[in-house]
């Protein structure tokens, strides 16, 4: 399919009437109530590894692989240093039931995870599941892994985040979330997994999301290319024929090609470094596998570092 600009208004092929289902400030909100209702209806089965969210459970290990690859490729030592000497601070946007957020909070390299979602129904499921593991709700012990070699600026940042729980869920959109005043207090990793293809104004959404990435931090996302192959696999086969994904989960017209994302970030005047991209393919019985070049036809990961 022909490429198009990642605009701040609804896509040419996307039904303009869909904007009437958005939240009151549709011009500034990423929330589409129809999309939220669809995923809220699936909330009770979110943590069933064999239920409708099974593809997300199977994709989660690759999410972590991709983030590690991004962090290891950072352009300098200073840019890879987290804002606290005790670990990385994550912001997970559109966290759903918390599949990624929980797993990130358990990593020894993590200081804290803030996870946001506009659906109170889904967040109730996420919070209830997190309560099963008291470790997730405890404040990080900022003194356990700090070292005397840490810079004074890092120590100051550590103190400003002292007492943060490892995992915090907030019923919020990226537009309503308060932006930390100091750039250094923003996040080391901002994740947007399987979200951008569900918003009506992707460029405006990404503009706001990018503000939460600290200098040297990473914005990582996953989405789907808009091709006839992806229509066949995600709509006809996955939704209509096999029922692996609940019908109505995806709107093919809102898929975003890798080249369109690349052009969006390249057009930000040097704010972002060169992107890292990883194409992935779902193999029945085996799960998700990295396949070079598949970002041009279907699912892919995309990461950019804030300069």
Kindly report the CATH number assigned to the domain that includes residue 66: 3.40.50.150
Compute the distance between CA of residue 150 and CA of residue 81 in angstroms, rounded to an integer: 10
Asked if the structure places residue 240 within a domain, the reply is: no
CA nearest 14: which of 226, 217, 185, 252? 252
Domain of 105 in residue numbering reads as: 33-77+84-139+164-224+256-279+299-306
Highest mean predicted confidence (pLDDT) among 31-45, 88-102, 130-144: 88-102
Q: Are residues 6 and 263 in contact, defined by beta-carbon separation less than 8 angstroms?
A: yes
- The pair of structure tokens assigned to 184 is 């250094």
Asked if the structure places residue 234 within a domain, the reply is: no
Instruction: Identify the band that residue 86 occupies on the pLDDT scale cut at 50, 70 and 90.
Output: confident
Q: What is the pLDDT of residues 55-84, one digit of tens each?
A: 889 999 999 999 999 999 875 444 556 766
Asked if the structure places residue 201 within a domain, the reply is: yes
What integer pLDDT is reported at residue 30 of this predicted model? 74
Q: What is the pLDDT of residues 208-255, one digit of tens each?
A: 999 999 999 999 999 999 987 876 777 656 655 555 666 666 677 888
Asked if the structure places residue 149 within a domain, the reply is: no
What is the tally of structural domains in the chain? 1
Does the pTM of the predicted model rise above 0.75? Answer: yes
Asked if the structure places residue 62 within a domain, the reply is: yes
Q: Are residues 215 and 188 in contact, defined by beta-carbon separation less than 8 angstroms?
A: no
Report the side by side order of strands in the sheet with 287-290. 167-171, 110-117, 88-93, 187-193, 213-224, 299-305, 276-283, 287-290
């Amino acid at each position: 399919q022909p490429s198009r600009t990642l605009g701040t208004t609804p896509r040419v092929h996307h039904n303009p009437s869909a904007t009437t289902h958005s939240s009151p400030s549709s011009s500034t909100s990423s929330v589409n109530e129809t999309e939220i209702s669809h995923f809220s209806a699936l909330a009770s089965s979110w943590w069933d590894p064999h239920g409708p969210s099974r593809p997300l459970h199977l994709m989660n290990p690759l999410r972590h692989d991709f983030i590690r690859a991004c962090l290891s490729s950072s352009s300098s030592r200073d840019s890879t240093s987290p804002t606290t000497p005790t670990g990385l601070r994550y912001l997970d946007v559109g966290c759903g039931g918390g599949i990624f957020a929980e797993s990130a909070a358990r990593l020894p390299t993590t200081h804290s995870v803030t996870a946001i979602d506009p659906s109170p129904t889904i967040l109730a499921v996420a919070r209830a599941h997190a309560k099963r593991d008291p470790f997730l709700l405890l404040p990080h012990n900022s003194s356990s892994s700090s070292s005397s070699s840490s810079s004074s600026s890092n120590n100051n940042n550590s103190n400003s985040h002292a007492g943060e729980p490892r995992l915090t869920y907030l019923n919020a959109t990226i537009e309503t979330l308060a932006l930390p005043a100091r750039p250094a207090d923003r996040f080391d990793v901002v994740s947007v997994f399987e979200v951008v293809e569900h918003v009506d104004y992707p460029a405006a959404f990404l503009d706001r999301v990018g503000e939460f990435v600290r200098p040297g931090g990473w914005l990582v996302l996953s989405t789907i290319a808009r091709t006839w192959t992806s229509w066949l696999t995600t709509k006809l086969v996955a939704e209509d024929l096999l029922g692996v994904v609940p019908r109505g989960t995806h709107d093919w017209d809102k898929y975003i090609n890798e080249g369109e994302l690349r052009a969006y970030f390249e057009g930000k005047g040097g704010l972002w470094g060169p992107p890292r991209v990883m194409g992935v393919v779902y193999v029945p019985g085996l799960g998700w596998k990295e396949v070079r070049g598949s970002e041009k036809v279907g699912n892919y990961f995309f990461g950019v570092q804030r300069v």
